[in-house]
Structure 1
Amino acid sequence: MVEKDCCNSCLTAIRVLRASLVDELEGRIDSLLEILVSREVFTRDDREEVLCQLGPRARVRQVLDILECKGEEAAQTFLSVSSQQETQTHSERGGEDQSQFKEYDKLKQKHRDVLRRRSESMLFYNTRHGEKILFSEHYVNLLLVDGHQALEVKRHEILTFGQNRLSFQQKSVVHRKIAPAELFSCKNGSRPVKKVLVTGVAGIGKTILVQKMLFDFGGNRDNLGFDFIIHMTFRDLNLIDKPTNLRELVLRKNRHLAKELDNILANDDKLLIILDGFDEFRHYRSCDVDVFVSEPDEDAEVVEVFGSLMQGELLPNASVMLTSRPAAINHIPVGCIDRFVLIAGFSLTEVQDFFLRYFQDRAVAGRMFAVVSENELMLTLCYIPAFCYIVCCILKESEDLCGESPKTMTDIYVQYLVALLRSHTQARAETLLQQQKAPAVQQLSDVVLRLGRLAFQKLMEHQTLFYSSDPDVAALEGCSLVSTFLDKTVAQEPGCVEEVYSFAHLTVQEFFAAVYCAVTDHPFPDALQHSDTSPGEGSNYGHLDLFNRFLSGILSERNAHLLSRQVGLHCHEEKVDSYRQKIIRQLTMLCENGAHILNHLHCLFEQQDSSLALAVQPKTLRVNVSDEALSQMDYNTIKYFLNLTRGKISELDLTGTGVSYEALRDMQPLLLRCESLWLGENNLSMDAVQVIADVLQESESITYLGLGWTDIGDNELLALANAIRMKPKLQQLWMEGNRVTQRGLLSLMDLTPDPLNKVVAIWNDLTDTESQCTKESITVNFTDDNTWEGWGAWVFRRCEVSSNEKLVMVLHKVCNISVHCLEAQWAKTFYRKLAQLITSRIECCTEDDMRKKLKRFESVLNL
C-alpha cells in the first residue's frame, strides 16, 4: 500500500481500496488493531466490537466500518500505520526466508554426507563380515550408450549383449558413449530429459552405476545439477503391503530430511529420484495404472504412487532414473521415458582394470588374465561385471580349475560354488572331518539342498525376497554358510521388525534352484514339461530360460560327477535320462516347425555331449533364432549344434539379430549349407554384403535369400547380382524396405525370371513411373495375390510359434502395412486367421498387461 493513494481524502481512498484492503490485512488485523488502540484511534469498546466478528476478513470489514465514523484524521493514521506494518512484515519475512535458505543449504550438504557414507563401501557377493572394500578403489568404468533394445522380452538376457558390445564400439556414430553426469543432459536441443530408463542384462552393473552416482554426488563430483538425490530400491518397496504416500517412502531411509521435506518437494526441478531394480518389483506387471495421486501426502498403493511419479502426475518437474533388466521393461509406461540408456558392461581395457583391482598385484593380475584370455567362454563372460567377479573368485579360491577349463556357464557356476564352499568352510570342515568324515560331507550337501529348495520354491513364485518367518528360511537358521550366498536386510515397519533375505544375485538363485531340481525327486516345472506345446506361455515366456540352461548343465555327466565328489550331491539317473530325451524331442520338433530354438540350443550346449546333437534327426533342419540380439556365446552355441549335423540346412533365420560382418564371416561354412537364409532387419555393411555374395557364389544349396530392411542400396545389390551370375542358384530375393533405386534393379534385369523367378522390392526408392516399368517377376507393390498369400502364410507360421511378446511386435508391423492390401482375398484370410490366433492367446494369457495389448489388436482386426 502506498500513502499517496490518500490523494485528497483518506476516507475516500479507504472506500475505493476496501476490497483489496480486506485481502491485504486479513493476516495481520489483530496486531493492527492493537496499534490503533495504543494510538488512541480506536477505543477498547471499538476493539471488543471488532473481536466479536467471526474470522479475520470480517474483522477487517468492521475496522473499515468504524473508521467511517472516526473522520479524516483517524483514516490518515490508519493508512500510515498499516503501510509501516506492511514494510516491517516484508522485512521480517525476508529475514525468515534468508534463515530458511541457510537451513536448506546446510541440509543439502548433510544429505551429501549421508549418501557418501552409505556408498563408500562396495559389497561383493562373498564379502566377509566386517570387511570393508572401498568403492573408490574397486570401481571400474562401465560403458553406457544411448538407445535401447526393442521393448520385447529379452529372454536370454544373461548373455545377450556380447555382440552388442562389439557393435557399440565399432559403430560409435550410431550409439554415442555417455558419462553418468550426462544422463539428464538435453540432446540436440530436444525437450528436457526428466525420465531416464537404464537397462542392461543381469550382472551388467545397474546397481553399481547407481552407487557410482550416489558416491559422486556425496563427494560433490557429480555435476548433475540436483540439490537432492533420493534413492529407493524396489526390493524395499516390495516390503510395503498397505497404502502409503511419497512422503513416507522418502522418509523411510531419510529421516534427516523431515524438517525441510516440504521445500525439497516444492523445488522438485532440483530433485532426482533413483528407483533401482524395477524387474524385482512384485507389481511390475501392473504399472500402467489409471488411478493417480498428485500430492506427496496422498495415500495410495505403492504401484499407484510409482505410476503417478513416472507419468508426471506427481512431482511433474522431478527427474527420475529407473533401472531394470530387459525382461521387465515391457511393462513400463514407455511414453513417459525421455531417454533410454543401455549399460554394455566392460570393454577389454576395463576387464583388465577389474583384474588388477581385484588381485591387487600387477603380476598376479596379468597371469590370471592370461589364463582367462585363452578361454573364449570365460573371456566373453568377463564383459559382464558380475561374471567377471565370479571368474576372478574361481581363479583366486581354486588351486586349479578342476583339471579342465570351464566350457559352459554351468561349469563356471559349479566351480564358483565349490570354490566358495571350500574357502568358507575349510576350517570347520577339517574339524568335522577329524571327528567323523561322512557327517561333514552330509552336512555340506544338506545346507546346499536347503538353499536350493528355498531358491526353487521362490523362483517358481517369481519371488526374490524371503522373510525370516518363511519355513524355508527358518530351516536355514544357525547355518554358517547362509551369509556366503544370501544377503540379509532388516525391514522396519511400525510395530514390526523382520529380517529379509535374498540371494546375492538373481542368477545365483536360478543356479541353486536348478541344483535342487536336479538332485531331488521334485518333478520338472510345468513350464518346462509343456514348453514344446505352448509357444505363447511355454519356453518362450522366458522366466525359466536361464534356470533351464543351468539344469541341463548340472544334469551333464561332468558337472554331476563334480557335485557328487565335492559337495556330496547326486543327480537322479532317471531324471538325467528323462531330461536328455526331452532335449532330443524338443529340438527335433523345433527344427521341423521353425519355432524359436535358441534357448534349447543353449541347453544342448550346456550338456557338451555330441551324441545328443547326433540323436536329433528332424525331417527338415530349420533353425530360427530371430529377434534376439545375439552374443558371441549365442553364435558359439549355434555353430556347436550345426557343426554336429549333416546335410542341408533347410532354413536359417537370423532376422533382427544384429548380425555383423565378423559373425557372417565366422559362420560362412554353415551358410553354404543353407537353402533359405533370412537376414532381414539387420544393418548390413558392404563388407557383410560381400560375405553374402561369396556365399551366393560358392553355395550349391541356397535358393531363397531375405534382406528386407537391411539398409542396402544399389552398390550392395550390384555385388549380389554379380555373384548370382557366377553361380545362378538363387530363385527368390526379398529386399523390401531398402534404398534400392531403378539403377539397382536394372542390374537384375538379365537375371529375371531365370534364375530369379521372384524379386520383392517394395518400399524402396522408386518413383511411381519407375514402378510401372519393372518386369513381372520383380514385385514393387501389393498387386499379386499369389506372392502375398505365400508371404502371409510365412508370417502366420512365425506368429504361431512366437511368444506373446514377439507376436505383439509382429502385429505392430503387419497392421502398419495392411492399409495397402485390405481388399485382397489373401489379406482377408490372413487377418481372419490372425484374429483367431490372438483370441486363443488371450484365453490362456495370465498377464493382465499382455492381455490388454492382445485385446487392442483383437479389436482392430475384428472391425
Structure 2
Amino acid sequence: MTAALREVQRNTLDNLTEDDFKRFKHRLRDQGQIKWGKLEKADKDDTVDLMVQVYSTGAGDVMLTILKKMNHNQLAMDLERDLEELGGQQCSPGLVRGDGGVKVDITADSGGMVDAPALSGGSPMPQQGGDDNAAEEVIKKKTSLKLKLREHLKKRFSFVHQESGVSNVQDIYTELYIVEGRTDGVNSTHEVSTINMSQIGRGPSSEDKQQVHLANMFTDGSATKVLTMGVAGVGKTVAVQKFVMDWVDEKANQDIDFIFVLPFRELNLKKGERFNLLQLLQLFYPNLEDLENIPDLSECKIIFVLDGLDESRLQLDFGNWISKLGEKSSVDILITSLIKGMLLSSALLWVTTRPAATSQIPKECFNFLTEVRGFNDLQIIEFFEKNIKNPEKAKRIIDHIKENRSLYIMCHIPVFCRIIANVMDKILEDQSKEESTKTLTALYTWYSVSQIKRMNDKYPEDKEMSAKEKGQLLVKLGKLAFKHLEKGSLIFYKKDLKKCNIGVDCGALKAGVCTQIFNLESASTGEDIFSFVHLSVQEFLAALYVLHEGVQRANPFPKNWKEKTSWLFTHSRFDLFKMAVDKALQSQNGQYDLFVRFLLGLAAMLEPEIRSPLKQVLPQLAIREESIEKTIQYIKEKIRKDISPERTINLFHCLNELGDNSLVEEINR
C-alpha cells in the first residue's frame, strides 16, 4: 500500500511546474512537521519519501490539502480519485482537522497518535475550549481589520477626478470590453494605432474571444494569478477602482478577506528601502496596525493588486526572492516574491500593465491573461449618455464623432471619450467651433487651451494670469511632456516640475491639464506624483513645445553642441518638420507617431486664415505657407518609398492633419 501511495504522490508532483513545486514545499513546511532544512534541496522523490516517513497513511491527505490551498483544483480532484482507488485508506475525512492540520496514525512504529498543528513552527494547539476562544478572537480581529480596510479603500477609491470635477466611480463607470487572452505578440506600433474597428467588439460573434466580466475574474478558482493588459488610458486603473469599490460596497467577491492595492508609481517612492511584507502593507494602510496579530495570513483569502507595471522603476529580478513573512528585504524583492508566489503563496494576484512592459515578468508567473480593449460601440454611446446630462447634446456629440473616423476610433479609449466630452460639451453652441474640431489636433488644441483658461474660473484665489502667462505655462508643460516622452515615461515628480519652472501649486495642476493623481499622506514620504491625463495629451503638449522652440530658433532634437550651434545659423521651419517626420519613421515602437501628427496639425492650424484658440495665448506661432507645402511633398515622397505599413498609415494621418487629401484621392482613382 505504501509503495502505491508513493507512486500516486510522485505522479501528482510531476504535474507541478518547478515554481509550483517550490511553493508546494513551502506549504509543506508550514504544516510544521518537516523542517525546511530537509525540504529545501529535496527533489520530488525525496519530498514524497519525507511525507510518507512523517505522515504515514496521512501523506495523501496532506498533499490533497496543500493542492487545494494552492488552487490546483483539478490536480486535487485527480489525486482524490487515485487515493480512493487505493481503497479509501489514504484519504479518510477523519485525518484532516478543520484547522488544516493532520492527525497521523503511526502505530506501526510507536502505537501513538501525532496531532500535527496547522500553524508553522510546530506549536501545539490549545485544547478544545481554548481552540474555540482563540478561533473566536481571530474572527473578531479579522472582522475589525476588514472594516478598517473597507473604510480606507472607500476614501481612496470612491471618486474619479475628471475635468468637470469629482465623480463617484459607481455613478459614472461604464463597463469595459475585456477579453481573455491577448493580441498576438507585443505590438511595435504606437498604442493608438492598435485601436481599430476589427479589434473592438461591436457585439457577440463567433470570432470574438471570451469576454471577461470584471467581478468574475477570480470567482471560479482557476484564475489565481491574473495579468491584465491594455493601452494607456484604456481604463485599467479605473477598472481596479471599480473592482475594489464593488468589494467595499459588498456588491461582489465577498469571499475575499482583504484586497491590497499597491500601485507601482507609489512603490517607486520606496525603492532602496527595506521592509518585511507586513511593514510594507502597514505603510500603505496605516490603519491596519493589527494586521500582524492575524496568526496565519495564508489562511485568509487575499488579493494583491499591482497596478501599472509599465510605470515601475523597480528592478524585478526573478532569480532573487524570499519566502518568510517576517524577513526584511528591498521593495523590489518583496514584489518579485509576491509575483513569483514564493511569499504568501496562497494569495491571489492581479497585475495591470501597458502591453510593452509585459516582458518584465516571466509569463509562467500567470495562469490567466486578459486584455482591456476599452469601449465597444454600444459602450461609447452609453458613456456619452451617462456623462452628458443633456440627451440632445449627447446625441449631437455622438453624431459628430461618427462623422470623423479617426475621432471615432480613438473613442474606444475611455480617457479620450472624457476629453472629447469635455471639449464638445462647451463648443457645440458655436457652429464655427464645431466645424473646427474635425481633426485630432484641433480637438486637443481646444481641450488644452480651455483647461488653461478655466484655472481662474475654478480657483479664483489664484492670481489672474494674462494670456501671455497662460501661453508660457503651456510651453513649460510642453517641455516637461517632451522630456518625458523621450524617456518613455508617463509619470513625474515635484523635482521634474521644478526643472521646467512649474510651480507645484500651479492652478493648471488642479485644472486637469496635468492632474495631481495621488498623495500618500503620512503613509509614505508624502511626495506627490503627477501625470498627464493621457499619453496623447502628453504627446500634444510635447509637439507644441517643439513648435515653439522652432519659432525661437531653437531645436530640441539635436543632442551635441555642434548640431545645436549649426541650427542657430542654418535652419528653416521645414527642416524642423522634416526632422520630426524622420524621427517618427526611425522609431521602432512608434513612440513619435502621434507626436508628429500633432506637430504638423498644429502647423496647419496656425496659418493666418485658420481660427485657432492657440493664437490667443501663443500669437507668435506664425507658420509660413511654404514650409507646409514642402512638408506635404516630403511626406508624399516617403509614402512612395518602401516603409512599413504602420509608418505609411501614420504618414497618411499626417497629411490629413495638414489638410491634404490629394494622395488619397489619387489612390482611390
| Fold equivalence (TM over 0.5) | yes
Q: Find out whether 1:525 has 2:557 as its counterpart.
A: yes
Code of the residue aligned with 2:439 in structure 1: it is T
Query: Within 1, Cα distance between the matches of 2:458 and 2:143?
Result: 53
How far does residue 175 in structure 1 lie from its aligned partner after superposition? 0.7
Larger radius of gyration: 1
For 1:291, the equivalent position in structure 2 comes to 320
Aligned residue for 1:230, secondary structure, equals strand
From 300, 304, 311, the equivalent of 2:329 is: 300
How far does residue 578 in structure 1 lie from its aligned partner after superposition? 7.1
Q: Structure 2 matches for 1:140-155, cutoff 5 A?
A: 140-155=174-189
Code of the residue aligned with 2:312 in structure 1: it is F
How far does residue 559 in structure 1 lie from its aligned partner after superposition? 7.7
Q: Find out whether 1:248 has 2:279 as its counterpart.
A: yes
From 184, 194, 201, the equivalent of 1:160 is: 194
From 168, 172, 176, the equivalent of 1:134 is: 168
For 2:530, the equivalent position in structure 1 comes to 501
For 1:107, the equivalent position in structure 2 comes to 145
Q: Does structure 2 conserve the Cα–Cα contact (< 8 Å) formed by 1:491 and 1:500?
A: no
Query: Within 2, Cα distance between the matches of 1:87 and 1:475?
Result: 61
Code of the residue aligned with 1:525 in structure 2: it is F
Gap runs ≥5 in structure 2:
1-31, 34-123, 560-577
Q: Does structure 2 conserve the Cα–Cα contact (< 8 Å) formed by 1:486 and 1:501?
A: yes
Cα separation, partners in 2 of 1:499 and 1:102, compared to 1, 3 Å:
closer
Query: Within 2, Cα distance between the matches of 1:221 and 1:524?
Result: 51
For 1:487, the equivalent position in structure 2 comes to 515
Cα separation, partners in 2 of 1:517 and 1:301, compared to 1, 3 Å:
farther
From 298, 302, 312, the equivalent of 1:271 is: 302
Q: CA RMSD in A?
A: 3.7
Q: Structure 2 matches for 1:13-162, cutoff 5 A?
A: 90-124=128-162, 126-128=163-165, 132-162=166-196
How far does residue 392 in structure 1 lie from its aligned partner after superposition? 0.8
How far does residue 467 in structure 1 lie from its aligned partner after superposition? 2.8
Deviations 1:225-267 (A, max 9, x none): 3211111111111212313343333222212223124638722
For 1:410, the equivalent position in structure 2 comes to 441
Code of the residue aligned with 2:515 in structure 1: it is D
Cα separation, partners in 2 of 1:163 and 1:608, compared to 1, 3 Å:
closer
Q: Does structure 2 conserve the Cα–Cα contact (< 8 Å) formed by 1:540 and 1:596?
A: no
Q: Does structure 1 conserve the Cα–Cα contact (< 8 Å) formed by 2:278 and 2:291?
A: no
Q: Does structure 2 conserve the Cα–Cα contact (< 8 Å) formed by 1:414 and 1:559?
A: no
For 1:546, the equivalent position in structure 2 comes to 594
Query: Within 1, Cα distance between the matches of 2:400 and 2:334?
Result: 50
Query: Within 2, Cα distance between the matches of 1:507 and 1:268?
Result: 44
Cα separation, partners in 2 of 1:559 and 1:304, compared to 1, 3 Å:
farther
How far does residue 321 in structure 1 lie from its aligned partner after superposition? 0.9
Sequence identity percentage: 25
Cα separation, partners in 2 of 1:268 and 1:341, compared to 1, 3 Å:
farther
Query: Within 1, Cα distance between the matches of 2:141 and 2:412?
Result: 45
Q: Structure 2 matches for 1:356-395, cutoff 5 A?
A: 356-395=385-424
Cα separation, partners in 2 of 1:642 and 1:108, compared to 1, 3 Å:
same
How far does residue 213 in structure 1 lie from its aligned partner after superposition? 0.3
How far does residue 320 in structure 1 lie from its aligned partner after superposition? 1.0
For 2:615, the equivalent position in structure 1 comes to 565
For 2:29, the equivalent position in structure 1 comes to none
Q: Find out whether 1:330 has 2:359 as its counterpart.
A: yes
Cα separation, partners in 2 of 1:542 and 1:264, compared to 1, 3 Å:
farther
How far does residue 567 in structure 1 lie from its aligned partner after superposition? 2.4
Query: Within 2, Cα distance between the matches of 1:352 and 1:571?
Result: 37
Aligned residue for 2:288, secondary structure, equals helix
How far does residue 370 in structure 1 lie from its aligned partner after superposition? 3.3
Code of the residue aligned with 1:323 in structure 2: it is T
Q: Does structure 2 conserve the Cα–Cα contact (< 8 Å) formed by 1:156 and 1:599?
A: no
Aligned residues: 518
How far does residue 217 in structure 1 lie from its aligned partner after superposition? 0.4
Code of the residue aligned with 2:616 in structure 1: it is Q
How far does residue 127 in structure 1 lie from its aligned partner after superposition? 4.4
Q: Does structure 2 conserve the Cα–Cα contact (< 8 Å) formed by 1:394 and 1:415?
A: yes
For 1:681, the equivalent position in structure 2 comes to none
Deviations 1:393-438 (A, max 9, x none): 1111224362525333222211211333344446999x999xxxxx
* TM-score, normalisation: structure 2: 0.68
Aligned residue for 1:458, secondary structure, equals helix
Q: Does structure 2 conserve the Cα–Cα contact (< 8 Å) formed by 1:584 and 1:613?
A: no
How far does residue 469 in structure 1 lie from its aligned partner after superposition? 3.6
Code of the residue aligned with 1:486 in structure 2: it is C
Q: Does structure 1 conserve the Cα–Cα contact (< 8 Å) formed by 2:274 and 2:328?
A: yes
How far does residue 274 in structure 1 lie from its aligned partner after superposition? 0.8
Deviations 1:199-224 (A, max 9, x none): 12222111111111011000111136
Q: Does structure 2 conserve the Cα–Cα contact (< 8 Å) formed by 1:238 and 1:282?
A: yes
Aligned residue for 1:201, secondary structure, equals coil
For 1:184, the equivalent position in structure 2 comes to 218
Cα separation, partners in 2 of 1:428 and 1:111, compared to 1, 3 Å:
closer
Cα separation, partners in 2 of 1:115 and 1:167, compared to 1, 3 Å:
closer
Aligned residue for 1:106, secondary structure, equals helix
For 1:218, the equivalent position in structure 2 comes to 248
How far does residue 270 in structure 1 lie from its aligned partner after superposition? 0.9
Query: Within 2, Cα distance between the matches of 1:644 and 1:239?
Result: 54
Query: Within 2, Cα distance between the matches of 1:355 and 1:532?
Result: 38
Query: Within 2, Cα distance between the matches of 1:611 and 1:134?
Result: 41
From 503, 506, 512, the equivalent of 1:476 is: 503
Code of the residue aligned with 1:134 in structure 2: it is N
Q: Does structure 2 conserve the Cα–Cα contact (< 8 Å) formed by 1:156 and 1:542?
A: yes
Code of the residue aligned with 1:556 in structure 2: it is A
Cα separation, partners in 2 of 1:554 and 1:597, compared to 1, 3 Å:
farther
Q: Does structure 1 conserve the Cα–Cα contact (< 8 Å) formed by 2:303 and 2:347?
A: yes
Q: Does structure 1 conserve the Cα–Cα contact (< 8 Å) formed by 2:190 and 2:591?
A: no
How far does residue 273 in structure 1 lie from its aligned partner after superposition? 0.8
Cα separation, partners in 2 of 1:385 and 1:610, compared to 1, 3 Å:
closer
Q: Find out whether 1:309 has 2:347 as its counterpart.
A: no
How far does residue 345 in structure 1 lie from its aligned partner after superposition? 1.7
Q: Does structure 1 conserve the Cα–Cα contact (< 8 Å) formed by 2:125 and 2:131?
A: no
Deviations 1:136-157 (A, max 9, x none): 2211111111120123134221
Q: Does structure 2 conserve the Cα–Cα contact (< 8 Å) formed by 1:278 and 1:325?
A: yes
Code of the residue aligned with 2:197 in structure 1: it is Q
Query: Within 2, Cα distance between the matches of 1:180 and 1:557?
Result: 42
For 1:454, the equivalent position in structure 2 comes to 480
Aligned residue for 1:341, secondary structure, equals strand
Cα separation, partners in 2 of 1:338 and 1:318, compared to 1, 3 Å:
same
Aligned residue for 2:531, secondary structure, equals strand
Query: Within 1, Cα distance between the matches of 2:421 and 2:415?
Result: 10
Aligned residue for 1:238, secondary structure, equals helix
User: Relative to structure 2, which stretch is displaced further, 135-144 or 299-308?
Assistant: 299-308
Query: Within 1, Cα distance between the matches of 2:607 and 2:196?
Result: 25
Code of the residue aligned with 1:273 in structure 2: it is F
Query: Within 2, Cα distance between the matches of 1:584 and 1:504?
Result: 34
Deviations 1:479-504 (A, max 9, x none): 32332222224355899543333222
Query: Within 2, Cα distance between the matches of 1:503 and 1:533?
Result: 23
Q: Find out whether 1:445 has 2:471 as its counterpart.
A: yes
Deviations 1:634-688 (A, max 9, x none): xxxxxxx55444xxxxxxxxxxxxxxxxxxxxxxx69xxxxxxxxxxxxxxxxxx
Q: Does structure 2 conserve the Cα–Cα contact (< 8 Å) formed by 1:138 and 1:358?
A: yes
